[in-house]
Structure 1
Amino acid sequence: MRVTDQLVGNFISRSNADLKSELFESVRRITSGKSVSRPSDDPVAAARILRIDRLMKDLGSIDRSHQRVTSDLNITEISLGQLSEVLANVKTLALQMANNTVSAAERAAAATEVLGFRDQMLDLANRQQEDGRHLFGGRAEASPPYDEATGAYLGSEINRRVEVAPGVFSAGTVLGEESFGGAGDEVFTVFDDLAAAMNANDTAAILGQIEPLDTKIDDTSQNMALLGTRLRSLLDTEGITDTLRIQYVQDKNSYEEVDIASEITNYTAQENSLTAVVELSRRLLANSLSAFLR
């Protein structure tokens, strides 16, 4: 009689525990919406989910680099636009000061104005970003790209390469030759030479600076066009990143997300099974008790 009671007790305990565990797991999947919450749920799927998470993390890092490069190039575009406008104004001023009717005092005043433009552009070229970087010195981002006194280029001749989309690299910085002039060709020299000619009241020397000004105006225009091409290329790479991100999310969901309708059906079946086991257990216990009382 004790053996029968023991068998009945073991059966009831084991059946209830198994079904309650399965029912609990079903509830967990329904409430979380995930079929895999820990590696033991499905080791293969869990490994794939971890790999996708790493890929998405890498994609996030690439995305941040893309945003920073895009922001830097947009700032560069604005800066070159300002330089272009200043060069046009300085050329107009130079042509005015080359007129024989202009006095020496007027040319001296114009020279002061030119040097003011020069200092304004030098400040723009050496301006720091919020994170402390400088934009126009290539890879040499930690220090001002142009000498504060002479305007000489101190930056790098190499741009830093940045991954802006998976497997796609772009120049993440701007060289002096792509902005305010490289070593020996700085725009500030043109300002200095023009101001010197005006202070010397030398009409011929003033006219001699028109060609260098035109060259700088053309250089700036070409640099802005190249910059526009770089910005368009960056815009094109956004599609690559967005497509991959969508694919990663879909792949992760295919391994991780639970089919709610199917799981609710499974939950109902587990609940019915547990009810049936409880009822069977009650009957077995009743029979066992009845036999004992005989």
Structure 2
Amino acid sequence: MRITQGMLSNNMLRNINSSYSALDRYMDQLSSGKKINRPSDDPVIAMKGMNYRTEVSNIEQYDRNLSEMYNWMDNSDDALNEATEALKRLRDLAVQASNGVYDEGQRTNIAEEVDQLKQHLAEIANTKVNNKYLFNGTKTTGNTVNGELQKPVEIDEDGNVIVTRGEEDYNAVLIEVTAGTRIQANVNPDNVFAQELFDELEAFSELLKSGAPDAEIDQYISVVDKHINNVVNERAELGARMNRVDLIKDRLSSQANSAKRMMSDNEDADIAAVLLKLTSQEAVHRAALSAGSRVIQPSLIDFLR
């Protein structure tokens, strides 16, 4: 085969263009810090990168869900702790009123404190966080009664406490914390702020005001103990779920670190290796230019200048 000057020139230009492409690729990797800048550079890396990014995005969403979960649980636990303290005070008052040393006026004063604690428990039952009622199931904006939106617990003009939520209305608030795993974020208000609690406290107050014998007042010690146990049991169940959420958060943190590391290994360029390749390619490019200058032989035109 006859080799012509045109063939030499074309081959030389094609190889120099290829050298420029390699230089451009390494410069892109250095400037972006990534192995590829478009899917066509390496479809396999691009597809793996999409999968890793999806995984990281899902983990970040679950982490945001966990923050919402902690918000519900921490505030619910604080409210239940406050309710426990109020009930303990009610028990102390029941013990004091039943020991026979208080006269009718003093028992009336105790009844007034019972009324205040009853209303305090109603306020705890209406606890709102981020404009959501914690103790009203999924009806976080309130209950609709006769077409009107009301709090979970209402206090009328006479100081009577009315629970507007029916037992059949309660629904657990479930939050997805990992793929396919949903955990209850709230507590069952029927176990701690039922109508029975407020009715029995109202009856206790009326009994104190009526001058009833000590034996009748004494029975309310066990009544208050029952409600204290209800709150403690609900807090224990809530605490068990909080412990599980802590374990899930630790696992998600490990998964996030692993996914980000794999994504980095897949996409991020090895800067030291790219610098070495770039330096080597620059040397090759200079050699190609030098060789090309020899390929383009002088012509008659060069001597006619």
Is it true that 1:163 corresponds to 2:173 in the alignment? Answer: no
1:137–1:174 contact (8 Å) kept in structure 2? no
Partner letter of residue 147 of structure 1? E
- State the SS of the aligned residue for 1:162: strand
Is it true that 1:188 corresponds to 2:187 in the alignment? Answer: no
| TM-score (normalizing by structure 2) | 0.85
- State the SS of the aligned residue for 2:162: coil
2:76–2:186 contact (8 Å) kept in structure 1? no
Residue segments in structure 2 that go unaligned for 5+ positions in a row: 143-150
- Residue by residue, what CA displacement relative to the aligned partner does 1:128-182 show, whole Å, maximum 9, x if unpaired? 112x11111222222133334423251643212221223322112222134x234
1:10: how far off? 4.1
Q: Which residue of 1 aligns with 2:163?
A: 152
1:119: how far off? 1.3
How far, CA to CA, are the matches of 2:51 and 2:184 in structure 1? 29
1:138–1:157 contact (8 Å) kept in structure 2? yes
Moved more, 143-152 or 39-48: 143-152
1:29–1:258 contact (8 Å) kept in structure 2? yes
Is it true that 1:140 corresponds to 2:139 in the alignment? Answer: yes
Q: Out of 271, 275, 280, which is 1:260 matched to? A: 271
How far, CA to CA, are the matches of 1:5 and 1:283 in structure 2? 11
- State the SS of the aligned residue for 2:153: coil
1:161–1:169 contact (8 Å) kept in structure 2? yes
Is it true that 1:246 corresponds to 2:245 in the alignment? Answer: no
Q: Which residue of 1 aligns with 2:211?
A: 201
1:127–1:134 contact (8 Å) kept in structure 2? yes
Q: Which residue of 1 aligns with 2:233?
A: 222
RMSD: 2.4
Residue segments in structure 1 that go unaligned for 5+ positions in a row: none
1:210: how far off? 1.8
Partner letter of residue 138 of structure 1? G
1:63–1:164 contact (8 Å) kept in structure 2? yes
Paired residues, number: 287
Q: Which residue of 1 aligns with 2:145?
A: none
How far, CA to CA, are the matches of 2:279 and 2:164 in structure 1? 76
- State the SS of the aligned residue for 1:159: coil
Partner letter of residue 199 of structure 2? T
- State the SS of the aligned residue for 2:182: strand
1:216: how far off? 0.7
1:139–1:173 contact (8 Å) kept in structure 2? no
How far, CA to CA, are the matches of 1:167 and 1:259 in structure 2? 37
2:33–2:268 contact (8 Å) kept in structure 1? yes
- Residue by residue, what CA displacement relative to the aligned partner does 1:37-68 show, whole Å, maximum 9, x if unpaired? 22111112212211221222121111111121
Partner letter of residue 128 of structure 2? Q
How far, CA to CA, are the matches of 2:200 and 2:30 in structure 1? 72
Q: Which residue of 1 aligns with 2:122?
A: 122
1:36: how far off? 2.1
1:260: how far off? 2.4
1:159–1:173 contact (8 Å) kept in structure 2? yes
1:275: how far off? 0.5
1:231: how far off? 1.0
Q: Which residue of 1 aligns with 2:147?
A: none
How far, CA to CA, are the matches of 1:121 and 1:94 in structure 2? 17
Higher strand proportion, which one? 2
- Residue by residue, what CA displacement relative to the aligned partner does 1:87-114 show, whole Å, maximum 9, x if unpaired? 1111111221224332222222221211
How far, CA to CA, are the matches of 2:27 and 2:200 in structure 1? 76
Residue identity (%): 21
- State the SS of the aligned residue for 1:138: coil
1:8: how far off? 5.9
Q: Which residue of 1 aligns with 2:15?
A: 15
Q: Relative to 1, partners in 2 of residues 1:61 and 1:49: Cα closer, same or farther, differing over 3 Å?
A: same
